[in-house]
Chains A and B, each alone.
Chain A
Amino acid sequence: MSSSSGGFFSESNKKGEVSELQKNLQSPEVQRDARQYRKVVRKVIAYMTLGMDVSPLFMDMIKAAATHDLVQKKLVYLYICSYASSNPELALLTINTLRKDCLDSSAMVRGLALRSMCSLRLPDLVEYIVEPLLAGLQDLSSYVRRSAVMGCVKLYHLIPDFVEDNGIIEKLVRLLSDPDPQVTCNSLVALDEILAAEGGVVVRKKVAHSLLKRLRSFSGWGQSQVMEMLLRYQPQDTEEVFDILNLLDDRLKQPNSAVVMACIQLFIHLTRGMKDIADDVYKRIKGPLMTILSSSNSELVYVCLCHIELLLSKMPKLFDCEYRSFFSRHTDPLFIKSKKLTILTTIASDTNCEEIVTELSAHVHDVDVKMSKEAVKAIGEIAMHLPHSSEYCIDALLSFLSWEIEYISSQTLVVIRDLLLKYEKSAIAVLPQIGECLEIVQDPKGLAAIIWIIGEYGQSIVDSPYLLEPLIDRIASEQSAEVKLQLLTATMKLFFKKPPECQHMLGRLLKFCVDEEMHMDVHDRALFYYRLLKTGAKEAERVVCGSNTKPVANPWNLNASSSNSKESLFEEFNTLSVVYGQSSVHFITQTVPYIKGRPYTEHAASDDEIPPCEEEEVLQADEEALASSDRHVAVGNLLGEDISVEQFHDDKNQEDHVLQLAEEPSLTPAQFEQRWKSLPQCIRWEEMLLKVPSSADELQESLRRYHIALMASSPPGQSIQKYFFYAQQQVSGQCFLIEAVVDVNAQLLSVVTKSEDSTLEQEFSEHLRNCLEQEWIQTAD
């Protein structure tokens, strides 16, 4: 059974195995001996688990379902659910056994049969399932009831109409007050999924309070789900909020951290906008968060750290006293260490700075190179934040250089180079060590930093020209353009400070870069310097060395991240969004109901191309932000940008008030959904239809000519058909969203349009009406 024996079977052998099993399953002897029979069935499942195709046994396995042996029954049903979709015709034959089991005297069997029957995922069979399912909703045993409730959701995803035809919603609402907590919980999540298109279950006062009252009786999982639902409840006044907070308070003492997180989320949600108690609320949730941090479930700790990071954006001082809890343990996995590092960087203050920097210095020793570099960066960042403690940080950084470890020295010098812009006085202490560093550092970024420092402070370094000379001699073998550009600039600057020593080497460098250099930026800069020098040394000096401008106050643009996006993350507290640091519209594409095999046909493909947003991308973005701070390397084309922006605005002004739709509008389902929810209600109208569209394609075809595209539609054959369309303004890219509901029996079309550009709202609605008038509705007189 081990994986190594997998290669042992040849293809024919496998076939042999399967036919052997078949023989056994069919043998009357085996069937008579219950023990033997179960053994064979078990073997089939074992092969299935190993990934072998045992689907040819379908008929025989169905027969094996008729047994009193519950374990065998479970295995057979598992088998049937796994292969039903590849044997849809044969699957019909299982329905009888399953239906019979739904009437079994044992609740376990009834529950199992219902669960399996609803998991067949074959729309054609739904008609046979409805009756036992409805009976299951009223079963005396709560075990059966809760399976039946989940069955409703399963069928809803297969045939959404099933819900309306059988009054499922009312039945589930009634089950919300079922005496069994798990039935209540399941009904709640079931309703929520079924009503998702309308925004999920609406939680009104009565429901909210009955759920709150019963909260303790639910399992931990149930409690978290219920509290998630309660986010939708809007208490009437602050008094009610306080009542709820008091009721919920003991949920923070639960051993199940999922409950604690859900409760924290609800606390924050209920008190948002209540500025006067915000402090108390955050203080209250702090303890439980710290406890999760000391959990041995390191993945959970990671999630908790992500949330703390988010909370810090709102309450920067919240964890000031607990900074020690963010010190890493040596058993922490890397992902925790690096999150803790970020948090330490954020909460460092003048009072705790020394201890935090000592902790970070320990990370610089980490065997993981990335971690070590991050720690160096973090110390630099703290220095940027805290001018009073900058000296301490810089001393720590300088001490790293003495270890003479390449990547540490390199990263340290990059950070010190940037710190020189802000704290010239203390960072200048690096100069005596520069010569030694040059021997150690090989990494282009670190090398570029050293060269910049030599160029900028060459007058204070004794043998500065001779530090640069070997680099110039080696220029032909230098790969990095960044290093070469720095070398050009530094040699230029140094030339004006120490002309006699530098003249010759500058000449060589310029000659090489002009004559032989392949990299265009390097070549062009060399040429530029050359011509500048030709116009006159005095003039060139004024341009290159210039009177030093003021040091940059905030070279890394710290604190620049928009608080807006953080605010939206609070709306999605306790979800993946917080871990990704991105709102869910960026990574969730599934909307409900999903219909197997046809998820948003034409757009599904384009969605795939959107790279998934990951933690890592955010990191990269950070790095880019840092890189762009290297102003002395890349001179921004600010002027150029300004012009294009202005042009863009001009264009926009002209286009703004004319409706001009893009031929290929692009919008993901998730974006659609998000916009649809956020945009206010716009224009709504109704019209009699000349004819009912036979399929979504027909309607889609006719509107596509007018640059209106289909986003989603309800499956065909329903009495109320829903379509979602969208279009996009040509230049601004602003979207128009349409919901069209066709009542087949009444031949009535009702349309709701929403628009991102309110000035074009009316016009677009008219446009849509015109488009439809050609074919579908009567011309307005």
Chain B
Amino acid sequence: MSMSAVFVLDVKGKVIISRNYRGDIEMSLIEKFMPLVLEKEEEGSQTPICVHQDVTFVYIKYNNLYLVSMTKKNANVALLFVFLHKIVQVFTDYFKELEEESIRDNFVVIYELLDELVDFGYPQFTETKILQEYITQEGHKLDVGAPKPPVALTNAVSWRGEGVKYRKNEVFLDVIESVNLLSEIVGAVKMRCYLSGMPELRLGLNDKILFESTGRSKSKAVELEDVKFHQCVRLSRFENDRTISFIPPDGEFELMSYRLNTHAKSQFKRRSTANNVEIHIPVPPDADSPKFKTSVGVVKYVPEENEVVWNMKSFPGGKEFLLRAHFRLPSVESDYQLRTT
């Protein structure tokens, strides 16, 4: 992929910190970036990629920051985006919040990290847990001498350092699902592991394929689609007998994620009717001259709450109602000034 340089910019496009990896692009070209973004925004055609002459800017926006990478090559753009988000993740692991202030406060660590994460434009080592073993916010204690690179850097189990010890051994497991009513369920199994040594863990699921192979087809089983595992999971083992076995990284991590292609069903029957439905719609505080048009119910503008309230006596299932509201805003100019100051 080879990115030539990476920048962190504030919301106005001013460079907060940067690192030149390849030296084949003038660093000052970053000044072209923000005008390009604004121009595209104006046209309503912004994309997370923009071009100036033969330089491509691939960027993400996080909080009020832009993370921008520059390249002159026909780069692997998916990798660039995944990597930029990885940088954000590493930084947030270090500083809790990634924002202008935390960058300025921690610029030494950021320089150190940028030096370890990428060499000559190619990603190197990006596991926060391991990085934290030799790059810390306090800096290394003086006169102890330089640390050795952690064993994990050279270890087969690159995600877990050696010699982890807890007095109380605990494991927490969360299943988080997000449901898209139209098409799918996306889920993730997140773990927090506080275990000593190199523990070997196994996790069993009511996986449909597993249950069918062991003849328990009657129980409630789920057909997992497109499962993804953390690198610690032995995939060959999963292929063979569907056991999820692994040596976990220390601390918090996402063990697996999956997608289910089932339509989530509503708990409500179609023939049921909702009574006394009240819908609150927030509007800007300076809106005036409201005009409403609706086929059903009563609409009221409540200026003291800055909202519109739409009351319906009854709302039968499977029906669709339309409300059109029309407001005036006193001046666009003040809004414009807000943006420029």
Q: Which residue numbers of A lie inside 8 Å of B, CB to CB? A: 1-3, 34-35, 38, 42, 45-46, 49, 51, 68-71, 74-75, 78, 82, 104, 106-109, 111-112, 115, 119, 121, 141-143, 146-147, 150, 153-154, 157, 180, 182, 185-186, 189, 193, 216-217, 219-221, 224-225, 228, 250, 252-258, 261-262, 287-288, 290-291, 294, 297-300, 302-304, 322, 324-325, 327, 329, 333-335, 368-371, 403, 572, 574-579, 584, 587-590, 594, 596, 607-608, 612-616, 619
Contact at B259–A290, with CB atoms within 8 Å? yes
Distance to closest chain A CB from B58 (angstroms):
8
The residue on A at minimum CB distance from B119 is A150
For A107, what are the chain B residues with a Cβ–Cβ distance below 8 Å?
A: 148-149
**With contacts A70-B140, A108-B149 known, is A588 near B111, CB below 8 A?**
no
The residue on B at minimum CB distance from A257 is B82
For B287, what are the chain A residues with a Cβ–Cβ distance below 8 Å?
A: none
Contact at B76–A228, with CB atoms within 8 Å? yes
For A225, what are the chain B residues with a Cβ–Cβ distance below 8 Å?
A: 1, 122
Contact at A108–B148, with CB atoms within 8 Å? yes
**With contacts A46-B107, A104-B146, A587-B51 known, is A596 near B23, CB below 8 A?**
yes
Q: Which 3 A-B pairs have the closest CB atoms?
A: A221-B123, A106-B146, A258-B79
Contact at B148–A106, with CB atoms within 8 Å? yes
**Can you list 28 A-B pairs with a CB-CB distance of less than 8 A?**
A3-B10, A45-B108, A74-B111, A74-B115, A106-B147, A108-B148, A182-B125, A219-B123, A220-B82, A221-B1, A250-B239, A258-B78, A287-B259, A294-B180, A294-B184, A299-B48, A303-B77, A303-B81, A324-B182, A325-B182, A325-B183, A329-B180, A575-B76, A607-B53, A612-B51, A615-B47, A616-B45, A619-B45
Instruction: State the CA gap A34–B141 with chains docked (Å).
Output: 11
Instruction: Out of B48, B115, B324, name the residue touching A78 (CB < 8 Å).
Output: B115
Distance to closest chain B CB from A42 (angstroms):
6
Which stretch in B206-214, B226-234, B302-310, B333-341 binds the other chain?
A: B226-234
Instruction: State the CA gap A294–B183 with chains docked (Å).
Output: 10
Whether B235 sits at the interface, judged by CB under 8 Å, is yes
Contact at B53–A608, with CB atoms within 8 Å? yes
For A1, what are the chain B residues with a Cβ–Cβ distance below 8 Å?
A: 104
Instruction: State the CA gap A45–B73 with chains docked (Å).
Output: 30
Instruction: Out of A185, A300, A579, name the residue touching B82 (CB < 8 Å).
Output: A300
Distance to closest chain B CB from A240 (angstroms):
20
Q: Which of A69, A154, A368 has the most B CB atoms < 10 Å from its CB?
A: A69
Instruction: Out of A75, A252, A576, name the residue touching B56 (CB < 8 Å).
Output: A576
Contact at A261–B154, with CB atoms within 8 Å? no
The residue on A at minimum CB distance from B82 is A258
Instruction: Out of A68, A185, A299, name the residue touching B60 (CB < 8 Å).
Output: A299
**With contacts A1-B104, A255-B230 known, is A303 near B78, CB below 8 A?**
yes
Whether B200 sits at the interface, judged by CB under 8 Å, is no
Whether B74 sits at the interface, judged by CB under 8 Å, is yes
Instruction: State the CA gap A75–B115 with chains docked (Å).
Output: 11
Distance to closest chain A CB from B189 (angstroms):
11
**With contacts A45-B107, A111-B149, A616-B43 known, is A288 near B76, CB below 8 A?**
no
Distance to closest chain B CB from A610 (angstroms):
8
Instruction: State the CA gap A109–B182 with chains docked (Å).
Output: 55
For B156, what are the chain A residues with a Cβ–Cβ distance below 8 Å?
A: 217
Contact at A69–B140, with CB atoms within 8 Å? yes
Q: Which of A42, A51, A153 has the most B CB atoms < 10 Å from its CB?
A: A153
Instruction: Out of A75, A288, A329, name the residue touching B111 (CB < 8 Å).
Output: A75
For A290, what are the chain B residues with a Cβ–Cβ distance below 8 Å?
A: 184, 226, 259
Contact at B235–A253, with CB atoms within 8 Å? yes
Instruction: State the CA gap A256–B227 with chains docked (Å).
Output: 12
- Other 5 A-B pairs with CB < 8 A, given A255-B229, A290-B259: A45-B108, A71-B140, A224-B76, A225-B1, A253-B227
The residue on A at minimum CB distance from B149 is A143
Q: Which residue numbers of B lie inside 8 Å of A, CB to CB? A: 1-2, 10, 14-17, 20, 23-24, 40, 43-54, 56, 60, 72-79, 81-85, 104, 107-108, 111-112, 115, 119-120, 122-126, 134, 139-140, 142-143, 145-149, 153-154, 156, 158, 180, 182-184, 186, 225-231, 235-236, 239, 254, 257, 259, 324
Contact at A221–B230, with CB atoms within 8 Å? no
**With contacts A291-B259, A596-B24 known, is A335 near B134, CB below 8 A?**
no
Distance to closest chain A CB from B61 (angstroms):
9
Distance to closest chain A CB from B74 (angstroms):
4
Instruction: State the CA gap A355–B214 with chains docked (Å).
Output: 41
**With contacts A74-B115, A290-B226 known, is A150 near B122, CB below 8 A?**
yes
Contact at A576–B74, with CB atoms within 8 Å? yes
**With contacts A2-B104, A106-B146 known, is A297 near B153, CB below 8 A?**
no
Distance to closest chain A CB from B37 (angstroms):
12
Instruction: State the CA gap A217–B1 with chains docked (Å).
Output: 20
For A75, what are the chain B residues with a Cβ–Cβ distance below 8 Å?
A: 108, 111
**With contacts A45-B107, A608-B53 known, is A579 near B77, CB below 8 A?**
yes
Instruction: State the CA gap A36–B24 with chains docked (Å).
Output: 36
Contact at B108–A42, with CB atoms within 8 Å? yes
The residue on A at minimum CB distance from B233 is A253
Distance to closest chain B CB from A569 (angstroms):
11
For A255, what are the chain B residues with a Cβ–Cβ distance below 8 Å?
A: 228-231, 254, 257
Contact at B146–A216, with CB atoms within 8 Å? no
Contact at B50–A614, with CB atoms within 8 Å? yes
Contact at A587–B54, with CB atoms within 8 Å? yes
Instruction: State the CA gap A219–B127 with chains docked (Å).
Output: 10
Instruction: Out of A154, A262, A575, A607, name the residue touching B120 (CB < 8 Å).
Output: A154
Instruction: State the CA gap A110–B123 with chains docked (Å).
Output: 20
Distance to closest chain A CB from B270 (angstroms):
17
The residue on B at minimum CB distance from A327 is B182
The residue on B at minimum CB distance from A152 is B120
Contact at B184–A325, with CB atoms within 8 Å? yes
Contact at A300–B81, with CB atoms within 8 Å? yes
For A615, what are the chain B residues with a Cβ–Cβ distance below 8 Å?
A: 45, 47, 49
Contact at B146–A108, with CB atoms within 8 Å? yes
For B50, what are the chain A residues with a Cβ–Cβ distance below 8 Å?
A: 614
Instruction: Out of B24, B126, B226, name the residue touching A253 (CB < 8 Å).
Output: B226
Distance to closest chain B CB from A620 (angstroms):
10
Instruction: State the CA gap A51–B125 with chains docked (Å).
Output: 28
Instruction: State the CA gap A335–B41 with chains docked (Å).
Output: 10
Distance to closest chain B CB from A98 (angstroms):
15
For A49, what are the chain B residues with a Cβ–Cβ distance below 8 Å?
A: 16-17, 107
Distance to closest chain B CB from A687 (angstroms):
36
**With contacts A35-B142, A588-B72 known, is A575 near B77, CB below 8 A?**
yes
Contact at A594–B78, with CB atoms within 8 Å? no
The residue on A at minimum CB distance from B254 is A255
**With contacts A49-B17, A612-B54 known, is A189 near B72, CB below 8 A?**
no
Instruction: State the CA gap A193–B122 with chains docked (Å).
Output: 12
Contact at B122–A189, with CB atoms within 8 Å? yes
Instruction: Out of A68, A288, A613, name the residue touching B145 (CB < 8 Å).
Output: A68
Instruction: State the CA gap A329–B180 with chains docked (Å).
Output: 9
Contact at A576–B77, with CB atoms within 8 Å? yes
For B54, what are the chain A residues with a Cβ–Cβ distance below 8 Å?
A: 587-590, 607-608, 612
